[in-house]
């Protein structure tokens, strides 16, 4: 039996919830799961930009007409809306099997003394509090059936800090600590807790970070070949399609010319 068929069998009829699914890693994850399951999966796609979610769902359905997709506008930084959202899911989407906590952001690249308080607040609410609240809302579903996969998208910045990234690095370090504790708390269950820490990925992340400045965002990748959202999505699929007795607890990924957050070797140095 081919690997592709085995993966499809593992994903068959699963219900997958992705936060931050309107672009980048989230969008790529939705598309890759649809492809890997041959459309035999149910997707719950959430993000702040509902119009983008609708476009993505329409595009996926054109390729896989029978796939079931539920889209919903949800800003996970507004934590009070998360539990009502989960409890209000349509019945056919309510028994979630896989949660991908993908939504996250960085705002600016200023030294701590110059970081705006609202940026600190927004990054922690999205990257940490929203992720924790979503996990708390979904966990009872997993506990009831004693199975499920929680995939937390961290960052290399949780492992290797850099000047100008104090708040973002701190949020991702929080994700890393939370994930580690959660895995220990669930050790006597069949619920798997997976952390994936990407390095440089070519998405809207840097465009958001630099306030929509396309030139500054593009300079990040000058002379290097970054990863794509699809690269990360493929790693997520690999992780959740393992046999139930196997957990890919942590995965660190970066481009071949990146060693850590502070050492990216550009073409002129090669």
- Catalytic residue numbers read 168, 172
Q: Which residues pair with 122 in a beta bridge?
A: none
Residues 6+ apart with CB under 8 A from 177: none
Q: Which residues pair with 16 in a beta bridge?
A: 43, 98
CB-facing half-sphere around the CA of 144: CA atoms within 13 A: 9
Residue positions counted in the chain: 270
Say how far apart CA 160 and CA 164 lie, in whole Å. Answer: 13
Tokens of 268: 């002129």
Nearest to 138 by CA among 202, 44, 229: 44
Tokens of 52: 């983008």
Say how far apart CA 138 and CA 162 lie, in whole Å. Answer: 33
Coil, helix or strand at residue 126: helix
């Amino acid at each position: 039996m081919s690997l592709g068929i085995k993966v499809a069998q593992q994903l068959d009829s699963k219900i997958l919830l992705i936060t931050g699914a309107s672009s980048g890693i989230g969008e790529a994850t939705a598309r890759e799961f649809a492809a890997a399951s041959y459309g035999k999966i149910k997707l719950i796609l959430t993000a702040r930009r509902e119009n983008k979610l609708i476009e993505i769902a329409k595009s996926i359905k054109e390729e896989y007409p029978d796939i079931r997709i539920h889209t919903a506008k949800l800003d996970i930084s507004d934590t009070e809306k998360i539990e009502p959202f989960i409890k209000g899911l349509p019945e056919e989407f309510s028994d979630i099997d896989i949660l991908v906590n993908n939504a996250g952001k960085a705002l600016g690249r200023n030294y701590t003394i110059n970081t705006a308080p609202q940026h600190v607040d927004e990054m922690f609410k999205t990257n940490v509090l929203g992720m924790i609240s979503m996990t708390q809302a979904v966990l009872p579903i997993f506990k009831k059936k004693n199975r499920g996969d929680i995939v937390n998208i961290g960052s290399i910045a949780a492992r290797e800090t850099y000047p100008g990234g104090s708040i973002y690095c701190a949020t991702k370090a929080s994700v890393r600590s939370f994930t580690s504790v959660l895995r220990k708390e669930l050790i006597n269950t069949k619920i798997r807790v997976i952390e994936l820490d990407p390095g440089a990925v070519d998405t809207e992340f840097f465009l958001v970070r630099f306030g929509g400045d396309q030139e500054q965002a593009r300079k990040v990748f000058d002379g290097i070949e970054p990863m794509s959202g699809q690269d990360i999505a493929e790693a997520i699929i690999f992780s959740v399609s393992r046999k139930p007795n196997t957990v890919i607890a942590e995965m660190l990924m970066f481009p071949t010319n990146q060693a850590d957050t502070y050492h990216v070797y550009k073409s002129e140095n090669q």
